[in-house]
Structure 1
């Protein structure tokens, strides 16, 4: 099948076209020179034949998500996003090279380099997951290299979302790095499936092939899918790969999601333990501190959102930091924050006493002020109550709807099905596809992390349910 030629580059104000960089199923990537500030950038442009009003809205939501995360050192930087004069949405991004994807099959990476890349990308995924965002297409070709040689994760959900809207019936999956439950359409993505994909990616970088390829045999899509369902990857087959690393990657690619590492951070810790055993310096996994990464507000149609994300509490992070300071935490997970400055000791006890007294006074004043502010913030007034939630059967689905009780800017609906983990949204409808039993839904208004009174549960019996 002949390779598609790139589409015509759009005319972008403030940018000068240089040349085409690559073509994909849904977009082209071009090299432009930005006029001010002057620099070369990569511009990803959706193809005109896939652009619909829904695609345009979803592309904008995904661009916002990627921009929110691009401050992470292992996430590709997005400079801006807009729509060209010909109607095609585009992203202006940091110019990087796909060197890993070009290199690993011909020249597999060293164990040390692959472990380092795995930890860094795991840090990027953990940060995304804490922000409530799924990538859904982790694979070697989506790990680019900056001009300084740093690995960065690209395409946060953009290609996956476009694929979801097309008539393929699934999320633009990459079979060799897709978890079994994704291939069987049991889910379009979870934290567990992302751990699977990252484990398969690290495996590929070391082995020079995807985990379920068997050299010299039929490696068609059908055969790969059959082997992935059995979840028994081939041995890497390198003398410098320790059994401990094989076990870590095998666990990440377990058939049962609950048997895998529970998070990208846990996967990073396993890789760090292998680094330590091999005598390498443990690679830090950059994780944003509490309060820095807030779940960005996105459109209701965004499909990379994680339902009911469980985040690590401040108390847990403080315990981790204390363990790290006392040497009881053997991992090298780095939580980026403000640097601490050492204060020289006072010259005499009298000066020390005055200094301590001043600190106590200032600290007390700060605590009083902070408590007043927190008391004011922690008591949001008049959180509205959602009333009269209605449910109805539409074909094979059940749709719930309700009227806006008067949300303020920043408010969201917290929706819970059968008392399970809640999800957040702005829209006033919620659809459950193909339920096989009675389903009950409650809706609560979430304001700045505080919730009001829940609605009365509304239950619907789907057609054909017993």
Structure 2
């Protein structure tokens, strides 16, 4: 099939077009020069064919999501989001070099560099998870390098709030790095599946191929899916890769999600231990302690906390969807020597495109107006007694050898509500319903959770405690 030609670059006030950087199925990326302050930037512009009212509505939440996350040093920075005069939404982002997918295909990366990349990108993912956000498309091509050689995670285009994906939502996925439960339609994404994808990405950078790729063999999407669903990736076959690292990656890519590290932080800690074993400087894990001031960061269902009703509906429909989706053909694209494949499942073609695009934004002015309206409405309802601030009642805890992961169900929050989490080290605020407390082996970690609405904090939950497992 002939590759699509890039669209015409839009006229953006304050920016001068330089040349085309690349084209994809849903967007083009152009190099622009910003006039003030003067700097080179990458501008991602949606193609006209997929822009409709649905995309325009979703545009706002995507930019808000990136604004919340891109302050992390290992997440690509977004400078601006708006809509061009021709109606196409665009994002202005920091200019980065080519992705790691181009490097590892030319030859495996040094172990020390891969460990550092794994820690930094893992820290970015852990921070996103604490904000209640899944990336859902972790792979080498979505890890770029800044002008200073630092890795950054890009493309949250199919990101979703943890546990909030609708059961009938079409899902885009990149086969070589997708967890078995994703390929089998048993899940639309979870923290455990993100652990798997990050480990598969680290494996690829070390091996120079994806985990289940056979050099010179059949590596179509169907072949890879069959191998992934059976588990047991091929050995990396590098003398400088220590057995402890191979075992760590094998555990993170276990067939059963329950057998993997329960958080990305656990995987990061394992990578740091390998650095110590090899006598390398330990890469710092940049993980936010307190969430950003994001009380109005989202006003769509896609960006809210876990929906218990949605989870129940997903379970009941899962069997029917799995049977119907298995009969659908796979749309495969080739990257390098392997048939990597981005598979679209379920729904019409346009609906599948929307799934890959994710949430986008209309502009800062409209977001501010909507945010003010939400806060005012919440304040009026609380002041009049029309809506009581709910109480979190069902906190669960799971411990690893380095941390305790606390989870709870949404007690009935409204747009603009946040959770206030109190631990022995202080208070944090976030919108997600997962909170990780790092601790020493054998230490007891406790939290209480309350809902904050329009500046007022509701009743605290009962205290929940758990002990970090001994190593």
Say if 2:119 and 2:283, in contact at 8 Å, map to a contact too. Answer: yes
C-alpha distance in 1 between matches for 2:214 and 2:71: 39
What CA deviation, in whole Å up to 9, does each residue of 1:299-357 have, x standing for no partner? 3232686569xxxxxxxxxxxxxxxxxxxxxxxxxxxxxxxxxxxxxxxxxxxxxxxxx
Q: CA deviation at 1:186?
A: 2.2
Are positions 1:176 and 2:176 aligned together?
yes
Aligned to 2:301: 301
Aligned to 1:335: none
Say if 1:132 and 1:295, in contact at 8 Å, map to a contact too. Answer: no
Aligned to 2:146: 146
Q: CA deviation at 1:27?
A: 1.0
Question: How is 1:272-351 mapped onto 2 (pairs within 5 angstroms)?
Answer: 272-292=272-292, 294=294, 297-302=297-302
Question: How is 1:365-380 mapped onto 2 (pairs within 5 angstroms)?
Answer: none
**Could you say what secondary structure the match of 1:201 adopts?**
helix
C-alpha distance in 2 between matches for 1:49 and 1:413: 45
Question: How is 1:222-233 mapped onto 2 (pairs within 5 angstroms)?
Answer: 222-233=222-233
Question: How is 1:199-214 mapped onto 2 (pairs within 5 angstroms)?
Answer: 199-214=199-214
Q: CA deviation at 1:188?
A: 1.7
C-alpha distance in 2 between matches for 1:304 and 1:420: 14
Q: Which moved more, 1:298-307 or 1:90-99?
A: 298-307
Are positions 1:422 and 2:392 aligned together?
no
Q: 1:54 to 1:8 in 2, by over 3 A?
A: same
Say if 2:9 and 2:17, in contact at 8 Å, map to a contact too. Answer: yes
C-alpha distance in 2 between matches for 1:285 and 1:445: 29
**Could you say what secondary structure the match of 2:302 adopts?**
coil
Say if 1:44 and 1:92, in contact at 8 Å, map to a contact too. Answer: yes
Say if 2:305 and 2:410, in contact at 8 Å, map to a contact too. Answer: no
**Could you say what secondary structure the match of 1:54 adopts?**
helix
Say if 2:45 and 2:89, in contact at 8 Å, map to a contact too. Answer: yes
**Could you say what secondary structure the match of 1:67 adopts?**
helix
**Could you say what secondary structure the match of 1:213 adopts?**
coil
Say if 1:124 and 1:286, in contact at 8 Å, map to a contact too. Answer: yes
Over alpha carbons, which structure has the higher Rg?
1
Q: CA deviation at 1:18?
A: 0.7
C-alpha distance in 2 between matches for 1:192 and 1:413: 27
C-alpha distance in 2 between matches for 1:307 and 1:71: 27
Aligned to 2:269: 269
Q: CA deviation at 1:292?
A: 4.3
User: How large is the RMSD of aligned CA atoms in angstroms?
Assistant: 3.4
C-alpha distance in 2 between matches for 1:55 and 1:283: 39
**Could you say what secondary structure the match of 2:287 adopts?**
strand
Q: CA deviation at 1:450?
A: 3.7
Q: CA deviation at 1:297?
A: 2.6
Q: CA deviation at 1:170?
A: 2.7
Higher relative contact order (CA 8 A, sep 6+): 2
C-alpha distance in 2 between matches for 1:256 and 1:420: 22
Aligned to 2:11: 11
Structure 2, unmatched stretches of 5+, are 309-378, 395-406, 417-449, 462-471
Are positions 1:96 and 2:84 aligned together?
no
Q: CA deviation at 1:294?
A: 4.9
Structure 1, unmatched stretches of 5+, are 309-379, 387-404, 429-443, 455-466
Q: 1:127 to 1:293 in 2, by over 3 A?
A: farther
C-alpha distance in 2 between matches for 1:138 and 1:293: 26
**Could you say what secondary structure the match of 2:172 adopts?**
coil
Q: 1:38 to 1:427 in 2, by over 3 A?
A: closer
C-alpha distance in 2 between matches for 1:274 and 1:241: 10
Aligned to 1:125: 125
Aligned to 2:317: none
Q: 1:97 to 1:424 in 2, by over 3 A?
A: farther
C-alpha distance in 2 between matches for 1:199 and 1:126: 14
Q: 1:261 to 1:52 in 2, by over 3 A?
A: same
Are positions 1:191 and 2:179 aligned together?
no
Aligned to 2:369: none
**Could you say what secondary structure the match of 1:421 adopts?**
coil
What CA deviation, in whole Å up to 9, does each residue of 1:407-465 have, x standing for no partner? 8xxx899899xx9722665469xxxxxxxxxxxxxxx97525844699xxxxxxxxxxx
Say if 2:131 and 2:291, in contact at 8 Å, map to a contact too. Answer: no
Q: CA deviation at 1:187?
A: 2.1
C-alpha distance in 2 between matches for 1:55 and 1:383: 33
Say if 2:135 and 2:158, in contact at 8 Å, map to a contact too. Answer: no
Q: CA deviation at 1:190?
A: 1.2
What CA deviation, in whole Å up to 9, does each residue of 1:74-114 have, x standing for no partner? 11111010011111111000000124221111121011100
Aligned to 2:115: 115
What CA deviation, in whole Å up to 9, does each residue of 1:223-279 have, x standing for no partner? 111111112111111111111101111111111112111111111000001111111
Aligned to 2:221: 221
